[in-house]
A and B are shown apart, each in its own frame.
Chain A
Amino acid sequence: MPTIAMSKTAPTMRVADRLRRGINALREAPLLAVLILTGLIVVAVFADVIAPYDPTLPVQGAKFFAPPFWMEGGSLHTPLGTDFQARDVLSRLIFGARVSLLVGLMGTLVAGGLGTALGILSGYLGGWVDQVVMRFTDAWLALPALVFAIFLATMVGPSMWNIVIILGSVYWTRYARVIRGEVLSLREREFVKLAEIAGASKWRVIIRHILPNVMNTTMVLASLTVGVVIIAEASLSFLGVGVPPPKPAWGLMLSEARPTLMAGQWWLTVFPGACIVLIVLATQLFGDWLRVRLDPQLRNL
């Protein structure tokens, strides 16, 4: 694992070298996953340009519940059909990618930041800090994550940013556990001991010596959390405690499709779900690759 070796022995490696190394590494990444992810990111970023219609307004002159274009009664103006308010399904899916990716990434960022910080503090400082953090971790882990998230979301009220905070504050526990374990062994290592003897303050040791060495693990965990967070957001939106309407979130689209599922309007249920599967599948594939590459010890996670 050249990346690990380099980051430990030569922290002053030139930025350009690091960048080149990163790009070379990405070349070996699973093509399918990278393609799907890049595609979705492009779609999410340029949703305003790509989407044919406004996702929140009915399409002028379109029927309610128009089926996809290849079916009888479908039209190429609304290629994937329309919903109960005659809104264009394709445009809603495109804007939904933005919500999913944003919540997935930001939620993971909050969870990863919180969990890594607490894990480092717990592992490095030890003593009562360790006890307090770990008992809170245990308590958090005692509730099924989704039940906890539903509970918090109901209490706080629906908005996209609330969901980010909620999912972040539910999914930090795994980071805290794993990172603490790593820090426990790191703090016994010579380079940490030497830094302490040389008079480095606690904060300096944490930021200069501990943090860079747990970043790989945080990255691997993050790649695995993104998918979980995206599904959790969809679940919350589906239950009506997530992203509020009329914002086009995939979970919300599934929820709106439920009353008419019995009438056989399958496109309203199948397409948003397929999008969720696609994005989570891609992050999982990417995560698997990253895990094997960055840290073989984490293979069993």
Chain B
Amino acid sequence: MRQFIVLRILYSIVTLFILSMTIFTIVRLTGDPALLMAEPGARPEDLARVRQQWGLDRPWPVQYISFMQNVFTGELGKSFNYRLPVSELYFQRLPNSLQLALVATMISLLVGIPAGIISAVRVNSLWDNLGKIIALLGLSIPGFWLGLVLILVFSVWLRWLPTSGTGDWRHLIMPAIALGWYFSASLLRLTRSSMLEVMRSEYIKLARLKGLPETVVIAMHAFKNALIPVFTLAGVNLVVMVNAAVIIEVIFAWPGIGRLLYEGIFQRDFPLVQGVVVMAGFMIIGVNLLVDVLYAFIDPRIRLTR
């Protein structure tokens, strides 16, 4: 058990190292930030001064080490554009992203789990086919286009909801649906297949043989076990949504970290982009590690696989 956890942690560190190296290298391969920061037509001396000021004149390995130092001391470097520590900007925006992702996760669970269970319990019925259509549309309708159509219907035509910005729940509902849409479909698929698998297992057969009514078998016995992977996926999805909502946040002018990344990209604010992307990697590697370790606790078979 200990060996398993240590190995997982080591892998996570290696993964994080490769990821940060990749991002760092790509950022530096594609242009000189000093040119963008200095006034247009700046003299070479001025450019050199800017480079020195921001530490861009140092060799790459030194820059990388200081970048990683910044990550671990929690500052994440200083934004070129805002002249503020990246971490300050990041943690200012993070609650907004979390809020949006939480509501989106709730929506996806509310759609995905009931629909998935009904599909699994009544295989090949009308409900199952309806579930299949929802799952198919979930993968085919891009979330951002759904967002645009929602704006068109509820803001432009019906004038029920505000188009963008923050405030109360009315600002939150459309971006959350647009963001949660895709994940509803994936939760639906997982709930269905997980339920089907559990329903075929021995202990469900036994429960039926005992003469328990079908509703009790489904609600008390199958439901509980089938939902473990579903909630795991929902948890991982939550973290992904916090980081991957770029386009939804841009459409709805939602001041989360996705929009921070978008702004950073267009202002060529390298430390900002670097910081946000590395944080995304950090969070997702962290949540994956957590899931691996938790599962090893729950299920001894996993511990033995390596």
Q: Which residues of A contact B (CB under 8 A)?
A: 135-136, 138-139, 142-144, 146-148, 150-152, 154-156, 227, 231, 234-235, 238-239, 241, 254, 257-258, 261-262, 264, 266, 269-270, 273, 276-277, 280-281, 284-285, 300
Contacts and interface: CB of A to CB of B under 8 A. Distances in A.
Nearest to A257: B148
Nearest to A224: B139
Contacts, number: 124
Given A154-B266, A276-B145, 7 more contacts: A150-B246, A150-B265, A227-B139, A257-B148, A273-B145, A273-B148, A284-B136
Nearest to B242: A144
Contacts of B277: 143, 147-148, 151
Contact of A269 (B11, B18, B27, B152): B152
Interface string B226-259: 0000000000000010011011001100000000
B144 A235 contact: yes
B284 A142 contact: yes
Q: Is the interface of B mostly helix, strand, loop or mixed?
A: helix
B22 A277 contact: no
A239 B244 contact: no
B95 interface: no
B169 interface: no
23 contacts: A135-B15, A138-B15, A139-B19, A142-B284, A144-B280, A144-B284, A146-B246, A147-B261, A150-B246, A151-B26, A151-B265, A154-B273, A155-B29, A155-B30, A155-B31, A238-B247, A239-B247, A241-B265, A261-B151, A270-B149, A273-B149, A277-B142, A280-B142
A279 to B, nearest CB: 9
A276 B114 CA distance: 28
Contacts of B246: 146-147, 150, 239
Among the interface residues B18, B155, B243, B288, which one has the most CB atoms of the partner chain A within 10 A?
B18
A270 B146 CA distance: 10
Q: How large is the interface on B (under 10, 10 to 19, 20 to 34, 35 or more residues)?
A: 35 or more
A269 B15 CA distance: 40
Given A139-B19, A143-B19, A261-B156, A155 B26 contact: yes
A284 B15 CA distance: 32
Contact of A142 (B137, B141, B281): B281
B243 to A, nearest CB: 6
B70 interface: no
Contact of A277 (B11, B145, B193, B266): B145
Among the interface residues A144, A150, A231, A264, which one has the most CB atoms of the partner chain B within 10 A?
A144
B123 interface: no
Nearest to B284: A142
A266 B155 CA distance: 12
A176 B193 CA distance: 24
Interface in B139-178: 139-142, 144-145, 148-149, 151-152, 155-157, 163
A285 B261 CA distance: 34
A155 B269 CA distance: 11
Contacts of A154: 265-266, 273
Contacts of B18: 135-136, 138-139
A258 B152 CA distance: 10
Contact of B148 (A143, A269, A300): A269
